Copies of this chain bind each other. A is one copy, B any other.
Amino acid sequence: MAHSRNGSGLLSVDAALDRILASLSTTTTTRVLLADALGQILAEDIHATLTLPPQDLSAMDGYAVRADDVAQCPVNLTRVGEAAAGHPWTGHVELGQAVRIFTGAYVPNGADTIIIQENVDAPSEADQSVITVREGAAKGRYIRPAGLDIAAGTRALAKGSLLSARSIGLAIAAGATSAVVSKPPRIGILSTGDELVPPGQTPGPGQIISSNAAFLSAFVKSCGAEAVDLGIAIDKPGAVSNAVMAATNLDMVVTTGGASVGSHDHIVDDLADGALDFWKIAMRPGKPLIWGKIGKTPLLGLPGNPVSTAVCALVFLAPAISKLGGGTYQQQLYLATITSDLPENDQRQDYMRASLESGDDGLTMVRPAHRQDSSMMATLAHANAFIVRPPFDPPLTTGDTVTILPMPRLF
């Protein structure tokens, strides 16, 4: 058994995550249509091939004029044409002239200012009619200059960006139709434990239904990766490594259970030859964590308790999937005020299940679940945030400010 232990001390969450991410490399790349790319990660920059807007545009409905003409108001101008989005007016606006213009239309040559229609009296929409500008505007007002959004040849989206709906919109507008993305990582999911039976079977005495794999499969999908079910490994030496070696083309394997020092847990023994770390993480829930390789496949061993599995998946697996896909992952933390007292914290970073509430005057309130036992899945399913308490956090009183990690919608 050649696995290393990190002394008797506990490893911090950040240090464990750094070590995991440092040893992962990115999947290969593929070109996909942007229409099919939601949630994927760019493996190459996308450069704009178009300038947006392509020319100076009107930002409002009104009249395109020359600023010199409207320096003193009211003033009468002659309407000489009309410009709408997609229907440019191709003449030249002279002194004393105005062109009726609509939002998104090119600003005609000669004009340099837009007067909004609310500030104009116009007897008709006919050309050669005389309009009265009641209130002028500074030169350039309500004009969107060419290239305001993006210029052709510049970078629209950087390698490593997540393709969200809004970034897909930008890329399409800038002239792209496809993108080179990292292939979604293939994540093998393996449960361990003699007590587990698959969903749909009736558990016998001492047995429970294997639910961690169902959670992990859904969570992996919500992170943009592909979940590969490797089934349930029994508590026998070799069962884990055999299951992993039998699978192909996995970018990573996640196991649950089998990570404690109990003599019925064999994953640690399975992963010999120095390719394994067995960590005690300074976090609650989720102290034991395995990190190593079987063959060339990275293996992340999560604890077997459902809440521990879930918290460790959010804290370690989601960033690992981002890294495999060539992206970055930043957990955004917020502050909220707690609705009850909390005792002093020990040496482990605590992830407490909690519910966000809106308090008076916009304050974000957070209510910790009454009981935090790591076997209680219902408490997890009904919570929507974690209170994250650092090691040795002093006792807290109702109304104190705490750090919260909102649960992602599909977590």
Which positions in A face B, CB cutoff 8 Å?
Answer: 34-35, 38-39, 50, 52-54, 57, 59, 61, 84-88, 102-106, 125, 144, 148-150, 156-157, 162, 164-170, 172-173, 175, 177, 193-196, 199-200, 203, 205-212, 214-219, 221-222, 235, 260-264, 304-306, 310, 332-336, 356, 358, 362-364, 373, 375-381, 384, 403, 406-411
- Chain B positions within 8 Å of A216 at CB level: 165
- Chain B positions within 8 Å of A333 at CB level: 358, 362, 364
Q: Are the CB atoms of B381 and A214 closer together than 8 Å? A: no
Q: Are the CB atoms of A261 and B377 closer together than 8 Å? A: no
Q: Are the CB atoms of B264 and A377 closer together than 8 Å? A: no
Question: Distance in Å from the Cβ of A7 to the closest Cβ of chain B?
Answer: 16
Please provide the 9 A-B residue pairs with the shortest distance between their CB atoms, ordered closest to farther: A86-B195, A169-B215, A86-B194, A173-B211, A165-B218, A85-B195, A165-B219, A88-B206, A172-B211
A222–B409 Cα gap in the complex (Å)? 11
21 of the cross-chain contacts (CB-CB < 8 Å) are A34-B199, A38-B222, A84-B195, A87-B264, A104-B193, A149-B375, A150-B377, A156-B381, A162-B409, A164-B218, A166-B407, A168-B214, A170-B377, A173-B208, A173-B306, A173-B377, A332-B356, A332-B364, A333-B362, A333-B364, A408-B409
- Chain B positions within 8 Å of A87 at CB level: 194-195, 206, 264
Assess A376 versus B149: contact at CB under 8 Å? Given A54-B208, A214-B34.
yes
Residue from the list B173, B209, B304 in contact with A175, Cβ < 8 A = B209
Q: Are the CB atoms of A170 and B211 closer together than 8 Å? A: yes
Q: Are the CB atoms of B167 and A381 closer together than 8 Å? A: yes
Q: Which of A165, A217, A218, A380 has the most CB of B within 10 A?
A: A165
A53–B207 Cα gap in the complex (Å)? 10
Q: Are the CB atoms of A165 and B410 closer together than 8 Å? A: yes
Question: Distance in Å from the Cβ of A401 to the closest Cβ of chain B?
Answer: 9
Q: Are the CB atoms of A215 and B165 closer together than 8 Å? A: yes
Question: Distance in Å from the Cβ of A53 to the closest Cβ of chain B?
Answer: 7
Residue from the list B219, B263, B332 in contact with A125, Cβ < 8 A = B263
A34–B262 Cα gap in the complex (Å)? 32
- A215 closest partner in B (C-beta): B169
Q: Are the CB atoms of B262 and A61 closer together than 8 Å? A: yes
- Chain B positions within 8 Å of A306 at CB level: 169-170, 173
Q: Are the CB atoms of A106 and B168 closer together than 8 Å? A: no
Q: Are the CB atoms of B102 and A262 closer together than 8 Å? A: yes
Q: Are the CB atoms of A177 and B164 closer together than 8 Å? A: no
A403–B38 Cα gap in the complex (Å)? 28
Question: Distance in Å from the Cβ of A388 to the closest Cβ of chain B?
Answer: 10
Q: Are the CB atoms of A61 and B304 closer together than 8 Å? A: no
- A89 closest partner in B (C-beta): B206
Assess A262 versus B103: contact at CB under 8 Å? Given A144-B375, A376-B149.
yes
Question: Distance in Å from the Cβ of A285 to the closest Cβ of chain B?
Answer: 11
Q: Are the CB atoms of A211 and B54 closer together than 8 Å? A: no
With A35-B217, A87-B195, A149-B376 given, name 5 new contacts (CB 8 A): A52-B377, A54-B208, A165-B411, A170-B380, A173-B209
Q: Are the CB atoms of A169 and B411 closer together than 8 Å? A: no
Q: Are the CB atoms of B310 and A377 closer together than 8 Å? A: no
Q: Are the CB atoms of A164 and B377 closer together than 8 Å? A: no
A200–B176 Cα gap in the complex (Å)? 7
Q: Are the CB atoms of B57 and A375 closer together than 8 Å? A: yes
- Chain B positions within 8 Å of A217 at CB level: 35
